[in-house]
Structure 1
């Protein structure tokens, strides 16, 4: 297994640890000053999510630069992203931080795209993530980070930054899903 694929696998391993810090009732105290406080367990979850997100960028960069692109990487990298992002969004919906319908849209797109990838894989094709899908993932991760550090006093014209980023992520989720199916429609046509 090459270094890019090891980074992808490490991202998958970080997910349960991230969820323990986010969801488990761990009282580690709070950190912050100037009216900004954050439970330490949530701060650890936030930093772990950032590290996992950086591995997403890093594994792709290494794979392209060192010509280490593999079928395993093409399949597992987007899967690791989905697992990481979905675990955070589902947790936030359960915690009442974001609207469930937004999570349903994101989940539906991810399941539909994964289904299309599985159909393609059954025919011997591996479909890599497109550029719009990469932007979608980037904004989803930014939105999650902003929710993890939700007490940070940022906003745009009185509208919280985390909500702005979430709306951008949802819109890109819809657009990238439509783009993905349009560009790979021949896979569906062949499978009839």
Structure 2
């Protein structure tokens, strides 16, 4: 197993530890800072594994499958934890998770037809806004200005989720009409 794939697996392994510190009082107030550190490190492994895989030509089928799955597991589990913590509306989380499932489905169909669907800039903006939103919600600084900033990023992430889904569907709708090569 190459280094990028090990980093991807490390990201998946970090998720339960992140959730323990997010959802319990195991470390008191410090738990959220430990959770934030784990989330930041897990997010960094996403950048790092992709960079190394491309730079050193270590792209594998395992990595193509597991890397996006690891990202979705990290983000979706975090958002679901936020519902339990009353930090975000379940409707918003359902929309975000639904978008991820729809895109994953499209990618499976495209891959089955030998088509690679590249990420768009809208998808990259969506991901960046979600990461900032998650960091803000983990920090949860109790001031009116910070609460406003959290809400701005929650709705920005929601809007970019919808826009990136629409963009993706418009650009890739032909994938659904293509015949399978089987």
* Closer, same or farther: CA 171–191 of 1 in aligned 2, 3 Å: farther
Query: What's 1:116 paired with?
Result: 106
Larger fraction in strand: 1
Residue 182 (structure 1) aligned with residue 162 (structure 2): no
* Cα distance in 1 for residues equivalent to 2:136 and 2:151: 9
Residue 104 (structure 1) aligned with residue 94 (structure 2): yes
Q: 2:126 aligns with which of 133, 136, 143?
A: 136
Residue 68 (structure 1) aligned with residue 58 (structure 2): yes
Contact 2:126 2:157 survives alignment (8 Å): yes
* Cα distance in 1 for residues equivalent to 2:52 and 2:123: 19
Query: What's 1:168 paired with?
Result: 156
Q: CA RMSD in A?
A: 2.1
Shift of 1:97: 0.8
> What TM-score results when the alignment is normalised by the length of structure 1?
0.84
Judge which range, 84-93 or 161-170, deviates more.
161-170
* Cα distance in 2 for residues equivalent to 1:129 and 1:4: 19
Q: 1:148 aligns with which of 132, 138, 153?
A: 138
Shift of 1:165: 1.5
* Cα distance in 2 for residues equivalent to 1:149 and 1:188: 41
Judge which range, 55-64 or 166-175, deviates more.
55-64
Shift of 1:154: 8.1
Number of corresponding residues? 180
Deviations 1:87-140 (A, max 9, x none): 111111121111111111101101111111222233344434333212211211
Q: Helix, strand or coil for the counterpart of 1:151?
A: coil
Larger fraction in helix: 2
Query: What's 1:47 paired with?
Result: 37
Contact 1:23 1:91 survives alignment (8 Å): yes
